[in-house]
Structure 1
Amino acid sequence: MGLKSTLQRYFKGDPILWGVIAVLAAVSLLAVYSSTGSLAYKYQGGNTYYYMLKHFVFLLVGITVIWAIHQMDYRMFAKYATLALWVSIGLLLITLVTGMSLNQASRWLTVPGIGISFQPSELAKLALIMYIARTLARNQDDKHGAKEAFKPIVTYVGIVCLLIFTEDFSTAFLIGFIAFLLMFIGRVPFKYLLGTVGAVALLVTVLFLASPYLPFLHRAETWKARIERFMDDEGQESEGSYQSRQAQMAVATGGLLGKGPGNSKQRNFLPHPYSDFIFAIIVEEWGAMGAFFVIMCYVVFLFRAGVIVRGSTRTFPAFLAIGLSYLLVFQGFFNMGVAVGLFPVTGQPLPLVSMGGTSIIFTCVAMGAILSVSRNNMEEAQRLKEDAQETV
């Protein structure tokens, strides 16, 4: 049995998608090793392999998660979507009350007894997209579109976004944006979507204006400052502008081919070169060609997700695949946009590349679900082909 047939036997679904995942994992390992040198000297006595090995373990666990989930029937995600959404909402509520503070934001929840911390917002993103996909699939009407799906979807999107909004505006925005795209694709009447956008814009404006009198919006000044710094590049120096300028310096000095792996200078100055600004380190070391290569990985990922959607004979797997792929790819574009100065600082990791256990595991859950749809599509197509041959 050859290597190709062995891989096809155990790694089913879209082979190009598997290839993109493998490439991103390899890029991640190299980038994390290069960007954690200063961290290793500060906390690990100069052991530069410590964080790389720790990250390698998370990647192995993540690939295992992808493999396990891609073997599942995608209908399981529809079956447990509502339960997962309720659980994530409960965890978000607990996080607001007892969550661990990180960078002045309570986004982390520690599991009692074992001391493992994770971000409930990562679970909420996946659960909400699964719920939206199921609700849209169940309410497709040839005459009226998905009119009946609008109210339940907007209700849960509103709950999740409000719970996340107070501590993590960028994640709440990303969730709302992906939900809008899914409803648009799912044929929810456009007047409903337009009205919702207007109402949300008005609500956010009112909350920002009233933020000095609302204790739960204690991070509003941080958001305002980030936007002001982004709009006024010559403004007062601060932590946020310092991060952006160091990242832009890394990008500007990368040139066409970069300084070479391990030769980054700005990794010694950027506060989070291994997570939020890892793309800046990639550009500095691998140049514009390396940046283009990473961008194309996400573009190919989105394209292959579109191929999977076209190959779906049912609506739920199509909505699930496109929703999860939008979530991962647009999050990646936001991260890269921040690194090159196109967006204000958001704190969004680069999917499957940035260092971080929570991000990697939940990213791999999403990738596994997409591959599950692909595997089921391919098996169904094979069955139809065999039935047609038997009929002939």
Structure 2
Amino acid sequence: MKELINNLKGDKGIWSFVMLLALISFMPVFSASSNLVYLVGKGSTIGYLVKHLVHIFIGFGLIYLVHKVPYHYYKGLSQLAMPVVGLLLLYTMFQGTVIEGANASRWIKVPFIGVTFQTSALAGIVLMVYVARYLAKIYDKPVTFRSSFIELWIPVFLILGLILPANFSTAALIFSMVCMLVFVGKYPIKYLFYIVAMGVTMLTMFVLFAKAFPKAMPNRVDTWISRMDSFFDDTPNEDDYQIEKAKIAIASGGVYGLGPGKSIQKNFLPQSSSDFIFAIIVEEYGLAGGLAVLFLYLMLFFRFLVTAHKAKSLFGKLLIVGLGFPVIFQALINMGVAVELLPVTGQTLPLISSGGSSIWMICISIGIILSVTKKEEEIAQEIAEKEEREAALQQLIDEHILKEKNKEEAGMAPAAYSVEDAANPMRAVMGK
């Protein structure tokens, strides 16, 4: 175990909080999965727990493998992965899942192993690394709107355009995080305002087109509008059932909760083990449990801030911000939906909700961040070792000078120096 811990490089604080969140996830997932077993009649609670354990185990394997790769390699990988991700998203639009005739093309099945995979989650990671690479490249260089639009924003809009029809919340989150990242990367603010205006305009045009020609392409515009109407105007909506059950669960939990596994609303709340798992946590562990989960995410956010500040390279800083902040924002969105501060979005609670691809993509992001912190630790260690060697050398030189001075005072002849000694003080000290 000690050897395994020693092999975990990078920021130990990030490792600790990620492990704690993953550990906390088992009891809520085990408890919430019972509604799938007894109401839907699929599998067993132990089966869902083992499945979640496998997902977490694979996720931490991905963290370990990814954090071993030097983070500057991801510059080139992001460029190679962008067209691949675009093709996967295009394939997902036409081959993805359809639920009750409505477009829900977010997942594709991986051939031969039958695992469903959410391509937009991978696209978000690749896109953030791509944007970080571009910002690091243009830093301290004059940038024109035309050149940045062609090299940066056209790929961003293409990827978001492929995600948007089936998953507005993910597209909006990614676009918001890209805007935040380019702001941090000192991209000209006036250009950023142009881009935001263009994004809003294109979204409006897409909605109008989808309403005018509903059969032209698969989309979920009616679902988005219905959710917004329900949230702002109290218009009856199928999502009201989920929100009401989530609020009942939270209210039932009180301060200390009903106890592990004693949730009642898990039997009535759809997606209780994924989208609304925070409500089950509060019901079973109370306000104290909910605040504890929020505290862990905030501490993880704090570690992201600290490590981003310590990173020596701009690309490393931007990677931590671009991949770390979305994890925290996704968690806040999930919790905000559960308490009806936000409309229903379908965003999972990172590292706690059940689900394979969502956990794995979060773990890949964490692995890249740890790769950055690992490199910074190696640099700091090299500097410390160099300073230690220089201090030891200086001490030897000082001791030698003192020894020769004592000899002179005692009337003894000083040691002879050669030309080689003058060029190499260490030889002068150690070689005699």
Do 1:140 and 1:146's aligned partners in 2 also have CA atoms closer than 8 Å?
no
Cα 1:139–1:149, aligned 2, differ >3 Å: closer, same or farther? farther
List aligned pairs for 1:85-164, cutoff 5 A.
85-102=82-99, 104=102, 105-141=104-140, 149=148, 151-164=150-163
Cα-to-partner distance string for 1:344-381 (whole Å, 9 max, x where unaligned): 11111111111001111111111111111111111111
Q: Quote the offset at 1:265 in angstroms.
A: 1.0
* Structure 2 counterparts to residues 134-283 of structure 1, below 5 A: 134-141=133-140, 149=148, 151-214=150-213, 215-216=216-217, 218-233=219-234, 235-236=235-236, 238-283=237-282
What's the offset of the Cα at 1:12? 1.5
For residue 341 of structure 1, what is the aligned residue in structure 2? 340
Matched, 1:73 2:70: yes
2:47 counterpart residue number: 50
Uncovered stretches (5+) of structure 2, i.e. residues with no partner: 392-432
Deviation at 1:299, TM superposition (A): 1.0
* Letter paired with 1:317: G
Q: Is the CA contact (8 Å cut-off) linking 2:323 and 2:365 kept in structure 1? A: yes
> CA offsets, 1:27-50, max 9 Å, x none?
111110010112123466773211
Report which stretch shifted further, 68-77 or 161-170: 68-77
CA contact (8 A) 1:44 1:50 kept: no
CA RMSD of aligned residues (A): 1.9
Is the 1:139–1:147 Cα contact (8 Å) retained in structure 2? no
Q: Give the SS at the match of 1:106.
A: coil
Distance 2:89 2:296 in 1: 32
TM-score (norm 1): 0.94
Alpha-carbon distance between aligned partners in 2 of 1:71 and 1:111, rounded to the nearest angstrom: 26
Query: Does 1:314 find its partner at 2:313?
Result: yes
Aligned pairs (5 A) from 1:348-367: 348-367=347-366
How far is 1:82 from its partner?
1.0
Tell me which moved more, 171-180 or 56-65. Answer: 56-65
Give the secondary-structure state (helix, strand or coil) at the position aligned to 2:105.
strand
Distance 1:181 1:281, change over 3 A: same
Relative distance call for 1:390 and 1:148 in structure 2 (3 A) is: farther
Spell out, residue by residue over 1:235-275, the C-alpha distance to the aligned partner (whole angstroms, 9 max, x if none).
32x32111111111111222111111111111011110000
Name the CA distance, whole Å, in 1 between partners of 2:125 and 2:9: 22
Tell me the SS of whatever aligns to 1:118: strand
Are 1:9 and 2:6 counterparts?
A: yes
Cα distance change of structure 1 residues 102 and 23 upon mapping to structure 2, 3 Å threshold:
farther
Q: Deviations over 1:8-32 (max 9, x none)?
A: 4121111111110111011111110
In the alignment, the residues of structure 1 paired with residue 27 and residue 152 of structure 2 have an alpha-carbon distance, to the nearest angstrom, of 40
Displacement of 1:328 in angstroms is: 0.9
Identity percentage of aligned residues: 39
Alignment check: 8 A CA contact 1:34 1:262 kept: yes
Work out the CA distance in 1 between the residues paired with 2:252 and 2:48. 26
Unpaired runs of 5+ residues, structure 1, are none
2:300 is aligned to 301
2:343 partner SS: coil
Matches of 1:172 and 1:139 in 2, distance apart?
25
Q: Residues 102, 383 of structure 1: CA spacing in aligned structure 2 closer, same or farther, 3 A cutoff?
A: farther
- Aligned residue for 1:53, secondary structure, equals helix
1:111-135 CA distances to partner (integer Å, 9 max, x unpaired)?
2333222011111011001101111
Deviation at 1:161, TM superposition (A): 0.7
Q: Which amino acid aligns with 2:38?
A: Y
Question: Which residue identity lines up with residue 162 of structure 1 in the other structure?
Answer: G
1:377 aligned residue: 376
Taking the aligned partners of 1:24 and 1:335, their CA distance within structure 2 comes to: 15
* Dislocated runs of 4+, deviation >3 Å: 5-8, 42-47, 142-151
Give the number of the structure whose alpha-carbon radius of gyration is greater: 2
